[in-house]
Amino acid sequence: MRETTISRRRFMKTTALATAAAFQPLFWIPRSASAAQELRVWTYNNFITKEFRQSFESETGIRIRVKLIDDQGKELNLLVAEKPNFTADVVTVAGHRFPQFINQGTIEPLDESKIKSWETINPVYREADWMIRDGKRWGVPILMGSEGMAYNEEKMGKVDTWDVMFDERYKGKIAYQVQDFLSIAMQYLGYDGTMVSYLKRPEVGRRAVEATKNFLIKHKHLVRAFYDSGAQVQQMFINEDIWVAQCWSGPAARLIMDGFPIRYTIPREGGFGFVYTFSVVKGARNRENAYKFLNAIMSDPRQGTYLTKATGFVSTFVGAEKGLTELERKASSLSQEELERITFFSPVAVEFKYKLFDRAVEEIKAA
């Protein structure tokens, strides 16, 4: 067995420095003496790199105040609780969650007259159906990810099935994020994890969620931990507390880039895909600064490169992959066969889905 020589300290250091090499300011925006000099952003860890933040603040005089989030549902609930006096100007929203954020009156459509150019964003993302509602875009897509399986290859060999998540041999070495894994478990059991097919048959959908909930409770004794953030699952893999987990592609890719014996795959039963966006909060106090921020992010494809290096997720920026090393490209890519196993989360049934999921998640945790 190959000895793992990368410590937690080295892992955290390399993650923090992933985007530092050869970084130079990529944009220039004149300061405005009358402008409010702050921008409040709610986002995930490393979605705003240290280097981008320093350059943006230096060039604009606008201080970015970051509040880290780890869950879309929690973020939405916090925004709803604050309405209409939001403490954020820009929030990070997964595209399939747009209907919830829009219907709750927490984000507003982009004022595209303030967007200098969309050319850096791949048209696959900027023209996607889920991006547009009532003829308007509701965010700037920045990163694409998938939800699959990460596992320790040295401990488990090659794995391509979700069966291992319910295998007694791996008792105490399994972890997952309950809400996200619920969709995967539904697919695994032969149900529709997107819930779209149940919109006209809601009772069938309720029974499917109930059956999946009971299945997960039955196998709960195998689980080492339910986690909330990418950093948590990364640390469990580093410590070898777990060998296998339902995981987002970004955190898994970061582990691979840093030399840990982790593999990431979309098992044969399938996985899910999603796109993260930066969206402007409805009635944002610092709206002008929000658009300066969005334009700065989209100012150069290298911004996308740095985001992939920092997060492990695939950039939506045209040409961003050109700045990646061979290892970084390998860590953040999937085979054609794996790509064909991905189902993108749909915004169509999101309200119906999470109404049932939120209750099921609490019952699984409490069981």
What are the tokens at 109?
A: 């459509």
For residue 245, give the nearest of 262, 258, 270, 268 by alpha carbon: 262
For β-strands 174-176 and 223-226, DSSP reports them as parallel
Average pLDDT, rounded, for the chain: 89
Superfamily of domain 146-273+334-366: Periplasmic binding protein-like II (3.40.190.10)
Cα atoms in the Cβ-side hemisphere of radius 13 Å centred on 321: 13
For residue 179, give the nearest of 225, 227, 223 by alpha carbon: 227
Give me the pLDDT at residue 44, please. Answer: 95
Residues 6+ apart with CB under 8 A from 350: 96, 97, 99, 100
Least confident of 29-33, 200-204, 348-352: 29-33
Do 146-273+334-366 and 8-144+274-328 have the same topology in CATH?
A: yes
Give me the pLDDT at residue 25, please. Answer: 42
Give me the pLDDT at residue 34, please. Answer: 39
What's the fold here for domain 8-144+274-328? D-Maltodextrin-Binding Protein; domain 2 (3.40.190)
- Residue 105, Cα to own-chain centre: how many angstroms? 22
pLDDT higher than 80, residue 167: yes
Identify each DSSP E strand in the chain by its residue range. 38-43, 63-68, 90-94, 132-133, 136-137, 140-152, 174-176, 223-226, 244-248, 262-265, 271-280, 314-315, 342-344
For residue 274, give the nearest of 292, 250, 258 by alpha carbon: 250
Reported as a single tens digit per residue, the pLDDT across 269-282 is: 999 999 999 999 99
For 365, phi then psi, to 5°, come to -65, -35
Domain boundaries, the chain: 8-144+274-328, 146-273+334-366
Residues 6+ apart with CB under 8 A from 347: 95, 96, 97, 98, 99, 130
d(CA 121, CA 304): 9
Look at phi and psi of residue 342 and say left if phi exceeds 0, alpha if psi is from -120 to 50, else beta: beta
Reported as a single tens digit per residue, the pLDDT across 282-320 is: 999 999 999 999 999 999 888 999 999 999 898 999 989
DSSP calls for 233-251: HHHHHHTTS-SEEEEEHHH
Q: Which amino acid is at 27?
A: F
pLDDT higher than 50, residue 21: no
d(CA 38, CA 36): 6
Give me the pLDDT at residue 129, please. Answer: 81
Give me the pLDDT at residue 36, please. Answer: 63
Rg over alpha carbons for the chain, rounded to the nearest Å, is 20
